[in-house]
Structure 1
């Protein structure tokens, strides 16, 4: 284990209240020690690194200037909050990040009073902060609400919807735009800091407010001319015209790593009687750690790593990741079919679309954090004769459900949805677990919903989706690596709504959807050893169901069990409905459904999560034995007496 950094000043600061007792001249040392502690902790646990290092000074400055937790600090996404956690009473647990029973990798209300709003998805912070600010206004509470949003999150329409509605919050709302890609405007040395300090001063804000009131009293023509002149002059000086149009007082850009610049600007903002205010802060991802500064993409999220060298732990060589299997097969499909295009919402490498983009840059579209737009954009492409693949994580697709229904399903457009991170996801916990997509898609008319049992099946399903033109189709697959099966040299076009028998038996039927197939086969081995002949079926399709196969299995076996990596309302519910509609239940059918439990599961190792969920081989065996009231002495010649 690496030696812990020396942090004598940080050791005296366990809460923001303690931080606020320090002298301004001590804050630089505190920030340096906080950065060292963050690097050390993430080196031990793995997790998000670059974003947190980029906001170390900003974190110190916010907690130093504002009265947290009375002033509510809301981090967008939350993956940059590790320094915040260290300063807010959680340092003694910081090396449990993202592990079972440990700290979440994101903000979480149940974890600390300093996390007033949980987040792990993007672009929610301004809407939430606006809610806090208006609540304070209505209750005559002087507390501020501070939203820290990265410029990547500003690609989502939700951020602008919130800003367009924010003027009523007045000075109770502060938005800090953490521009960590310098994609809006760079800070220009001392002049930039001086301008930011001037435009955030009470005198300047007062003059701007007075000017606005005076302009409103002019004739319409003079009013419009004066307003355009004022806007042009201010835009030339600061670059904040867009935000001012949305009702904010704009301050910046300012160097987010210079505490001598940050502190007085934030103090001006805190004490202002005008608002809402947007402070534009420019930072560098990975700041202060050379490997992360040099490769911000590779150090955005990391495995455990050596702090001295920056070398990350590498998983032993193994099967390819599902996302890469999908990406590679999509490239092959696109070589044969020039109408295939690919869309992702700011996750090209996470979905495998980066491989497609490298091969076909003109046919790949990263639309930013804008899932709603991605889906309707894909629908427009499909309506014009293209074959779009919309590759989005299961939990992110939730954000575009109305578009899936209204723009795709109702119009029966052949959009292909590649749903990554389906099922439980380990260290990312409940916010990223793809627990609901079978339920929310298989309930829709016109949809085909497939789930790959392994990487070979994913190849077949990608090919099947590419060839499917009669309506929307979805294929779901998990996070992580495949099972190690050989990939087919020639993909097979699957018959829609048809499953397959993987193992034939007589007493027990296990109906699997997705990658629980391996656990179903393990359970079958155990049941066979107990004299219970077991059939294992890979249904492949949650919709349409293979009704002929399911009916045969339900009526020819003593007990049937469905298993899926999805919440209630998925495969099991559809099989039960089918059995009920066809009168199969009237005959004393023993049918049990195994699915994700009705809870949001916290982060842990995936195998532990699935065991806790009752979706492993042991749970299948226990379910079968309980249904049969199994008695080993009653088994004769491999069949129940």
Structure 2
């Protein structure tokens, strides 16, 4: 800020202190200034910093005025600035921020941390003002966010870190080394972790299951509805044994008024939501409802009442339940909203490796997708109820 305010002339200059050459460009939106600056340094034979100041939203008045809300936007009408897409009803952003603000009000040890994306958990400017010092934005530094949260938890605080799935990669080391080795009770809420989320190649949310579920000591949970999500957040913030990550459902807010919370301390205990036989369907998190629709389709096509299971835990296998299923089921289907390699389904397949149970793992192929149509991606990966029923017909 000092360099910006002094047009790069301040004596206190971090870059020069490091022995680097320094070039300041005041108007980074002026193409001629940029060209001039780059021409002046393009043949230099040592490191140089070119400090370019730009105006966010330059040239579009609504974006210049409201930088935060225009940081990212859906397609919009350029005349009015109104989005061409309207979203009605609840969102997990709203559910999360309302829950956490209530917690903050009643417990000063609760702190919410963000790494440069304050609205990831619904903390818009007005909500941040209410939270005050209990809301901490560390800037675009996911590594620091997790290290900070770990230290705070060690000292008795109840930190909640909200982060987009695609940015988990930046802090993998801190989650493993700073957090999980020490088993500090931090709550990490992972947003946009789904094939239905952001769809450009640098913001994909389909790799976090494979990344996080193989770190020791971490409990990674996959809620299937709003009520289960809130129960998981409540449990995570109240317990002091484990670092916990919660994968926010990606298929919109599904409400289940009949949901009954389980004892999450009983780690890796899956929940059987529908008793059946011959075919068992393990629908993880976002894909739990797909599992229910597959069960309905199996009943319709083959007259079989399939067992439906909500695995709850991404990070472990319920070996007791899996062994029981093997006694009365020929086929086990796993469904996960992420890449298959290193994911949830492979753990189930490994368990049944020596048995006669046929396991079908459904998820996404390991690849970089970009600007995709999720319906096409689901079909390509056989993630429709009709395709799954066709796949298993010769084994039931």
TM-score by length of 2: 0.89
Equivalent position of 1:623 in the other structure: 391
Alpha-carbon shift at residue 242 of structure 1 (Å) = 1.1
Alpha-carbon shift at residue 465 of structure 1 (Å) = 1.1
The secondary structure found in structure 2 opposite 1:542 is: coil
Equivalent position of 1:565 in the other structure: 337
Of 593, 598, 614, the match for 2:382 = 614
Alpha-carbon shift at residue 283 of structure 1 (Å) = 1.9
Q: Which moved more, 1:377-386 or 1:436-445?
A: 436-445
TM alignment of 1:125-136, pairs within 5 A: none
The secondary structure found in structure 2 opposite 1:541 is: coil
Tell me how far apart the structure 1 counterparts of residues 85 and 241 of structure 2 sit (CA, whole Å): 43
Equivalent position of 2:58 in the other structure: 287
TM alignment of 1:196-275, pairs within 5 A: 237-238=9-10, 241-259=13-31, 261-270=33-42, 273=44, 275=46
Tell me how far apart the structure 1 counterparts of residues 57 and 150 of structure 2 sit (CA, whole Å): 38
Tell me how far apart the structure 2 counterparts of residues 490 and 472 of structure 1 sit (CA, whole Å): 23
Tell me how far apart the structure 1 counterparts of residues 33 and 342 of structure 2 sit (CA, whole Å): 54
Tell me how far apart the structure 2 counterparts of residues 186 and 402 of structure 1 sit (CA, whole Å): 33
Question: Contact 1:344–1:367 at 8 Å: present in 2 too?
Answer: yes
Equivalent position of 1:443 in the other structure: 214
Q: 1:324 to 1:487 in 2, by over 3 A?
A: farther
Of 349, 355, 362, the match for 1:576 = 349
Q: 1:414 to 1:427 in 2, by over 3 A?
A: closer
The secondary structure found in structure 2 opposite 1:417 is: strand
Q: 1:315 to 1:552 in 2, by over 3 A?
A: farther
The secondary structure found in structure 2 opposite 1:562 is: strand
Report the number of matched residues: 392
Equivalent position of 2:114 in the other structure: 344
Q: Which has the larger radius of gyration?
A: 1
Of 352, 363, 371, the match for 1:595 = 363
Of 265, 274, 278, the match for 1:503 = 274
Tell me how far apart the structure 2 counterparts of residues 626 and 398 of structure 1 sit (CA, whole Å): 40
Alpha-carbon shift at residue 427 of structure 1 (Å) = 4.9
Deviations 1:529-579, CA, capped at 9 Å, x for gaps: 121221111111123333333322232222111111122222212223333
TM alignment of 1:364-379, pairs within 5 A: 364-379=135-150
Question: Contact 1:409–1:447 at 8 Å: present in 2 too?
Answer: yes
TM alignment of 1:84-123, pairs within 5 A: none
Deviations 1:427-452, CA, capped at 9 Å, x for gaps: 53332222232223222222211111
Tell me how far apart the structure 1 counterparts of residues 3 and 196 of structure 2 sit (CA, whole Å): 36
TM alignment of 1:150-229, pairs within 5 A: 183-186=1-4
* Structure 2: stretches of 5+ with no match in the other structure: none
Alpha-carbon shift at residue 345 of structure 1 (Å) = 0.8
Tell me how far apart the structure 2 counterparts of residues 480 and 184 of structure 1 sit (CA, whole Å): 45
Alpha-carbon shift at residue 369 of structure 1 (Å) = 0.9
TM-score by length of 1: 0.57
Tell me how far apart the structure 2 counterparts of residues 464 and 615 of structure 1 sit (CA, whole Å): 32
* Structure 1: stretches of 5+ with no match in the other structure: 1-182, 193-234, 629-641
Tell me how far apart the structure 2 counterparts of residues 612 and 184 of structure 1 sit (CA, whole Å): 52
2:205 maps to 1:434? yes
Tell me how far apart the structure 1 counterparts of residues 217 and 70 of structure 2 sit (CA, whole Å): 42
Tell me how far apart the structure 2 counterparts of residues 419 and 253 of structure 1 sit (CA, whole Å): 37
Tell me how far apart the structure 2 counterparts of residues 488 and 325 of structure 1 sit (CA, whole Å): 18
Tell me how far apart the structure 2 counterparts of residues 424 and 184 of structure 1 sit (CA, whole Å): 42
Q: 1:616 to 1:432 in 2, by over 3 A?
A: farther
Equivalent position of 1:154 in the other structure: none
Q: Which moved more, 1:601-610 or 1:442-451?
A: 601-610
Alpha-carbon shift at residue 402 of structure 1 (Å) = 1.4
Question: Contact 2:197–2:205 at 8 Å: present in 1 too?
Answer: no
Tell me how far apart the structure 2 counterparts of residues 259 and 431 of structure 1 sit (CA, whole Å): 26
Q: 1:534 to 1:620 in 2, by over 3 A?
A: same
Q: 1:304 to 1:512 in 2, by over 3 A?
A: same
